[in-house]
Amino acid sequence: MSSRSAGRPRTSSRALIEDAAAELFLENTYGATTIDQIAQRAGVSRNTFFNYFGAKSDLLWVELDAAIDRLEVELRAVAPDAAALPALRATILAAVADIGVERVPLALTQEDVMGTREETRSSGLTRYARRADVIASFLGRQQGLPDDDLAVLAKAHAVSGAISAAWTVWARAGVRRHPLSEYVAQALDAV
């Protein structure tokens, strides 16, 4: 049904909520779907929903949010004496390495069907900003600079912007798309 159904069966509460939301958004549009409807179809309580997701729009960005979470965790594990930019590049690519050709955020593939264009733009920009914060913290830490240093912030925003571009082009490439990490590598090389 949704691309997320591919592969092994998904039975955790989180996966049930994600699959229920994807179905309902496609059936009824994003705007006409309520959190209660999603919880009901997933067979979980409203409280359980909010244990996993802060807002309905989070369900548009599941894969991207997971990648930013991985990036944040893995950047914290980089050795303090590692050169910042090569380590950043390697960690960014590792954080998207398991995102193949199927797992595309609903926000980037279904916006026309689901009527989410405005919501998508706004919630997508929030992800760009969060990723820039994560990268700025890392660069500041590695380089012994405050994370609001101009060069640190400029690099962090530039890298985050390049990654946004990669996700967008990757999603739009449709079924012929290659794994995401190829697009991210090209985008990072371009900047």
Query: Which residues form the interface with a second copy (CB under 8 A)?
Result: 121-122, 125-126, 128-129, 132, 148-151, 153-162, 164-166, 168-169, 172, 183, 186-188, 190-191
Taking the complex as a whole, the smallest distance from the CB of residue 24 to a second copy amounts, in Å, to: 26
CA distance 63 to 41: 21
Of 71 and 166, the one with the shorter C-beta distance to a second copy is 166
Q: How far is the CB of 99 from a second copy (least distance, A)?
A: 16
What is the rounded radius of gyration, in angstroms, for the C-alpha atoms of the chain?
A: 17
Least spacing, CB of residue 170 vs a second copy, in Å = 8
Instruction: Give 99 or 187: the residue with its C-beta nearer to a second copy.
Output: 187
Give the start-end residues of each E strand in the chain. Answer: none
Amino acid letter, residue 136? A
Q: Is residue 43 a contact partner of residue 14, using CB atoms and an 8 Å limit?
A: no
Give the CB-side neighbour count of residue 189, counting CA atoms within 13 A. 6
Nearest-approach distance from CB 191 to a second copy, in angstroms = 4
CA of residue 17 relative to chain centroid, distance: 17
Structure tokens at 152: 């640190």
